[in-house]
Each structure stands twice: as C-alpha cells, then as structure tokens.
C-alpha cells in the first residue's frame, strides 16, 4: 500500500526552505545588533537588510536575472555577507571564487561556471587584468574599491560596489521559488586534476544551517553557539560558505566581525577589541596566531575555535588549551556543504585529565544530526566500531552536493552505490566517534602493512622543536613504499641544531608506547624551510610527491 500524503488546503502556504527565511529572523530578534568590518565600517542588522535589498536591486538593474551566476572575489567582509544573501535570494547563483587560484585555474572556473557578473576587490585587479581578454563570457565587471580610490587599471569597469548601492532602491521583492533552486557554487581545491565544481540548493543551505546550530547546542558539551556570542570567521568566505557559519550567525543575530585580509596582528586586535568568542579555521591559521608574540598577553579564555580542513594535531591542541582557548575539531568536505561531524564531548566522557581531554577534542567527531555516516570495507560492509578496524567513510545527509558540475563520470564515482564517498579512511570507536586516519590516496603501504600518514605527522608534531610536518609514501624496492617525512623546525630548535636523528629518537618513544609501529618510523626525515600548501592552507601532498618522488 502506498504512503498517504497529507492533504493540502488550497490556500495553505507551502513555505519553501529559502535563504530569505534565514535572513528575516534577526530583524525580529536583534535588529540593532552590530556587524563589524575590520576597524573601517560597522552597521546593524536593519542597515544590513537595507543594503542587501539595495544590492539585489543594483544587480537587477545591471541585468542579473534568476538563474544567472554572480561571482565574488573579496576578502572576508560585510560586503561578502551581503552577497551571501542578496544574490541567492533574488534567484541568482553565488559563485564564491577561490582568490588563490592560478590565473589558468581562475579562467577555467569562471568559464566553466558561466559567470555573468564578477564583483572584484581592488586587491585582485592585477590578476583579473592579466586574464581579462580570456573572460569572453563575462558580461559585467564591478569593482569593490574597499573605501579607497580605484586602482590604476585598463579594465573598463561597469560599476563600483558602493556607488552601485548608493543609487539603488532600498526595497526588493524577494519572491518565492522552488527551494531546490541552485543557490551557491564553488570549486574544490583538490590536489589532482582541474578544479571540480560543486553546488548547493536553498533547501540544502537552510537545513545545513539548522543542523549546524543543533549540533553546537544539543549536547551540553564544550561546543555552543548562541545570540550572545561574537563571531569572526577565520576560514575564507570563498571556502565552502566559510563552513556555513555566516548563515547560522545571521539567523540567530549574533554580533559579527569580518577581518578582511588575514593579518595576525589585525585578527588579534579584533578578537581583543570586539570580544570575539567564536571562530573557526584550518590548523595553519591557528598555528600562525599562536606564534604571534602579542597573543601571549591576551585573555583567550572566552574564545572558542573549531578546527577543520585538516586534522587537529594534539600538539597544537595542547598549546591552544594552555592559553585558555576552547579548541576542538570538526570535519567535512567541499562536497558536503561542509559539516559532517563535531567533536562534541559527551557529558559522561567529560574529564579533568589533560591528556584524555585533548584526545577527545582532537577526534574527528560525532555525526551531526541528519548525517548518516558509515565506515565500510571494499565490499561495502560496515567494519566493527571497535576503535581499530578501518575503512572508507561514506555518508548521506540532506546537504551533500548532488554531483560535480558538468562531470557525470566523476559524479557517479562520488555517489557510487547511493552513498557519497569521502575518500577518507577512518574508524569508529565504541562511543561512535569517528577518527580519520588518512586519505585513501595518502595511506602508505609498506611490506604489506598500512601506515597512516596523519598518525605519523601527529607524532612528529609532538616534538617541541617541530613547527610543521608532512609525511608521504615514496617508492622502495624492498618494501614497496616507505614513509618520508618533511619537517619545519621552530626558530628555537634551529638554534639548538635539532636534527632528523633527534626526531627519530622522539618517534621511538611512540613505538615503545605502541602508538605507531616500528616500521612506521621514516627512514629519512628532511629538515625543510617550508611545506607546500593548497590555496586553503592544507598540506599539498600532490606537490610534495612531485617534488620528492
């Protein structure tokens, strides 16, 4: 017998899950709450609403219509937040351009996305100028002068952001449309091949916002987010919607702070002056801030930092906790909107033991509400949740990209068997915490045994003289592959002439404790000045393989 759907009164309102529903909430609850951009500009939610309406009108006057794609190249700013809302709310598609792409990749993504209009911060004019003749499909280029005089350029600008808003009407009729309409898109920063386009609907973004808010508040754990917080993103807004936090922050009406270009002293000053209580970033950003001398004089006991993009090293977690920072891990991907797990500490697992507390915070985490997550073997069977048995992490959730833009083959690979394949290897423990141990393509097979590059990196980073570390597998005639480590030393360790042999001795302590196998100790450890990273601050292992293999 088929299911019986509810009957619908002819005059009943269907209430599509559109981004405009998020937008309206703070205007009811906290219309006078502040949104701050660096030390240059601030306004409240009522004024933010007016500017969102003005932006929609200005874009419409520029010829933007439903289904068109409007791209943005800007630092984290109040303007970007306006674009997060105005563009999808008018029925257009927001393309958040990765500002760190190479010129060829930039042209590829703009062309592949079929961008109609691009809003460009003055700092990115040189790169656009170098490729402007190749952007044949773009109809309008709009300058973001950022409160300064326009830069010298041969580009014929169609408008300037603030001038465009100044001349626009302050009311726009954001009509209803299908909640499955595409709202946003961007390109993955994968380390192989051309960037891949992912896309998300209004419905997906609304549900992700609600899921994210619920996972931060339902467990009475160290994670929390409320209207009393002060939020500042330290993940670029072009990168997976800044992990979806700006939508959540706007919905609950928090005081928001946007730092513009990431400069350590500026960020720390904003944290201090605006009393920032919650941020999120990749490990390299937190590492950068912890190594800024002025942080030692700050009270960071009210600052909550969620780490994602890469695993949270225990050494970094230890250092942050000692400064009073409430730091812990989360996990997701560009393809997943992105949040899948949070390392919420269950009430019965709370402990005053420093080591155990750090271990819990560094776990990949528990699936958020509405995320169904499995760890499977090559035959698609679930592996035991015993804290040891590893497999590939596959997921279902209502906010996962439904494919790669214009790439059916890779889309089918992504969704093989009706589950999204993350390409990550991990295990579940008896409390159902996930722990990612490696990427499928990064795991090292030596003499028939698997070695996790992430576990080796974590052990190396526990050495007090190590600032950064990366491990890759290199070919070996006898063993097939052997781990090869690259290490950046701290300034103090360089002065003390710490050597690769010192680090090997350090690793043997982990062998003796049974944390890593003896065959996991790298034969060669290179002391290097820097380690290659992707455009979003992750270690670029493809580049390292090209360099060292």
Element (H, E) at 340: strand 339-342
* Sheet with 524-527: strands ordered across: 466-476, 480-489, 524-527
Considering only 189-193, 215-219, 364-368, which range has the smallest mean pLDDT? 189-193
* Nearest C-alpha neighbor of 93 from the set 60, 64, 116, 67: 67
Residue pair 203/17 in contact (Cβ under 8 Å)? The answer is yes
**Cα 303 to Cα 474: distance, rounded to the nearest angstrom:** 40
Rg (CA), the chain: 24
Q: Are the CB atoms for 78 and 48 separated by under 8 Å? A: yes
On average, the pLDDT of the chain sits at: 95
pLDDT-above-90 percentage for the chain = 87
DSSP state, residue 173: -
- Mean pLDDT is lowest, of 329-338, 486-495, 530-539, for 530-539
For residue 163, give Cα distances in angstroms to 69, 74, 150, 169. 21, 17, 12, 12
Are 162 and 145 in contact by the 8 Å Cβ rule? The answer is: yes
What are the structural domains of the chain?
19-201 (3.40.50.12780), 444-548 (3.30.300.30)
CA–CA separation, 90 and 408 (whole Å)? 28
Determine the pLDDT at residue 338.
Answer: 97
- Listed in sequence order, the residues at least 6 apart from 535 whose beta carbon sits closer than 8 Å to its beta carbon are 98, 100, 101, 189
Question: What's the rounded Cα separation, in Å, for the pair 189 and 186?
Answer: 10
- C-alpha closest to that of 265 among 291, 230, 292: 292
**Among 316, 311, 286, 305, residue whose Cα is nearest residue 224:** 305
Quick count: other Cβ atoms within 10 Å of Cβ 355? 10
pLDDT at 411: 97
| Residue 185 Ramachandran class (φ > 0 left, ψ -120 to 50 alpha, else beta) | beta
Tokens coding 241: 């919607």
pLDDT band at 542 (very low <50, low <70, confident <90, very high): confident
pLDDT bin (cut points 50, 70, 90) of residue 110 is very high
* Max CA pair span of the chain: 79
Catalogue the long-range contacts made by 45-50 (C-beta closer than 8 Å, 24 or more residues apart). Answer: 45/253, 48/78, 48/81, 48/82, 49/23, 50/170
Higher pLDDT, 192 or 305: 305
Residue 538 above 60 pLDDT? yes
CA end-to-end span of the chain: 61
Question: Which position has the token pair 């097939």?
Answer: 480
What are 403-452's pLDDT values in tens digits? 999 999 999 999 999 999 999 999 999 999 999 998 888 888 787 777 88
Parallel, antiparallel or unpaired: strands 326-332 and 304-307: parallel
**What would the pLDDT profile of 167-209 be if each residue is shown by its tens digit?**
999 999 999 999 999 999 999 975 456 899 999 999 999 999 9
* Closest to 119 measured CA to CA, from 164, 180, 177, 89: 164
CA gap 467, 315 in Å, rounded: 10
State the catalytic residues. 188, 335, 445, 450
- Mean pLDDT confidence for 149-154: 93
Q: Which pLDDT does position 124 carry in this prediction?
A: 97
Bridge partner residues of 539 (DSSP) = 533
The string over 192-223, giving b where at least 16 C-beta atoms fall within 10 Å of a residue's C-beta and e elsewhere, is eeebbbbbbbbbbbbbbbbbbbebbeebebbb
- Are residues 337 and 208 in contact, defined by beta-carbon separation less than 8 angstroms? yes
Find where tokens 């309008």 sit. 140
Task: Answer whether 475's CB lies under 8 Å from 481's CB.
Answer: yes
Q: What is the pLDDT of residues 126-135, one digit of tens each?
A: 999 999 999 9
The pair of structure tokens assigned to 383 is 């592996």
> Which residues, in sequence order, are bridge partners of residue 391?
426
pLDDT for 192 equals 52
Task: Count CB neighbours of 247 within 10 A.
Answer: 23
Strands 34-37 and 41-44 turn out to be: antiparallel
pLDDT tops 80 at residue 381: yes
pLDDT at 62: 97
Phi and psi, residue 244, nearest 5°: 85, -5
Q: Return the DSSP state at 373.
A: E
Strands (E), 350-492: 366-367, 372-376, 391-396, 420-428, 434-439, 444-446, 449-451, 466-476, 480-489
Q: How confident is the model at residue 1 (pLDDT cuts 50, 70, 90)?
A: confident
Name the more confident of 300 and 534.
Answer: 300
Least confident range of 66-75, 266-275, 298-307, 479-488: 479-488
Residue 289 pLDDT: 97
Residue 144 — φ and ψ, nearest 5°?
-105, 100
327, 329, 334, 336: CA torsion to nearest 10: -120
Tell me the C-alpha distance between 59 and 69, whole Å: 11
d(CA 127, CA 51): 28
């Amino acid at each position: 017998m088929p299911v019986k759907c509810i009957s619908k009164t002819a005059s009943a309102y269907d209430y599509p899950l559109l981004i405009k529903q998020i937008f309206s909430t703070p205007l009811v609850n906290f219309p006078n709450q502040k949104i701050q951009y660096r030390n240059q500009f601030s306004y409240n939610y009522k004024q933010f609403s007016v500017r969102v309406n003005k932006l929609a009108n200005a874009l419409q006057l520029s010829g933007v219509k439903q289904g068109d794609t409007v791209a943005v190249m800007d630092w984290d700013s109040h303007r970007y937040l306006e674009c997060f809302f105005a563009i999808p709310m008018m029925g257009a598609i927001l393309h958040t351009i990765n500002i760190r792409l190479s010129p060829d990749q930039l042209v590829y993504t703009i062309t592949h996305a079929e961008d109609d209009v691009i809003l460009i911060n003055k700092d990115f004019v040189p790169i656009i100028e170098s490729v402007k003749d190749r952007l044949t499909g773009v109809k309008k280029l709009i300058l973001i002068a950022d409160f300064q005089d326009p830069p010298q350029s041969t580009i014929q600008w169609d408008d300037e952001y603030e001038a465009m808003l100044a001349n626009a009407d302050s009311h726009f009729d954001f009509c209803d449309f299908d909640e499955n309409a595409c709202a946003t898109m961007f390109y993955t920063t994968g380390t192989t091949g051309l960037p891949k386009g992912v896309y998300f609907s209004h419905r997906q973004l609304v549900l992700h916002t609600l899921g994210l808010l619920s996972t931060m508040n339902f467990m009475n754990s160290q994670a929390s987010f409320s209207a009393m917080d002060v939020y500042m993103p330290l993940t670029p807004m072009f990168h997976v919607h800044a992990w979806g936090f700006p939508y959540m922050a706007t919905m609950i009406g928090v005081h928001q702070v946007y730092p513009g270009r990431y400069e350590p002293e500026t960020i720390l000053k904003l944290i201090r002056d605006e009393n920032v209580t919650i941020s999120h970033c990749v490990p390299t950003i937190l590492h950068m801030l912890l190594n800024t001398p002025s942080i030692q004089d700050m009270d960071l006991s009210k600052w909550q930092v969620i780490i994602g993009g890469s695993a949270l090293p225990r050494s970094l977690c230890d250092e942050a906790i000692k400064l009073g920072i409430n730091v812990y891990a989360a996990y997701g991907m560009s393809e997943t909107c992105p949040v899948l797990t949070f390392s919420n500490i269950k009430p019965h697992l709370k402990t005053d033991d420093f080591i155990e507390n750090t271990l819990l915070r560094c776990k990949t985490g528990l699936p958020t509400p509405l995320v169904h997550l499995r760890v499977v073997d090559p035959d698609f069977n679930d592996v035991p949740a015993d804290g040891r048995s590893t497999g590939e992490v596959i997921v279902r959730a209502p906010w996962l990209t439904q494919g790669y833009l214009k790439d059916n083959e890779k889309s089918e690979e992504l969704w093989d068997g009706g589950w999204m394949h993350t390409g990550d290897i991990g295990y579940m423990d008896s409390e159902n915490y996930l722990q990612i141990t490696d990427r499928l393509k990064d795991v090292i097979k030596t003499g028939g045994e698997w070695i996790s590059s992430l576990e080796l990196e974590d052990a190396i980073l526990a050495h007090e003289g190590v600032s950064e570390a990366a491990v890759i597998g290199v070919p070996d005639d006898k063993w097939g592959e052997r781990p090869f480590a690259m290490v950046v030393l701290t300034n103090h360790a360089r002065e003390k002439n710490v050597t690769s042999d010192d680090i090997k001795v350090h690793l043997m302590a982990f062998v003796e404790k049974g944390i890593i196998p003896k065959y996991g100790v790298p034969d060669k450890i290179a002391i290097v000045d820097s380690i290659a990273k992707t455009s979003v601050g992750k270690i670029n292992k493809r580049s390292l393989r090209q360099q060292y293999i």
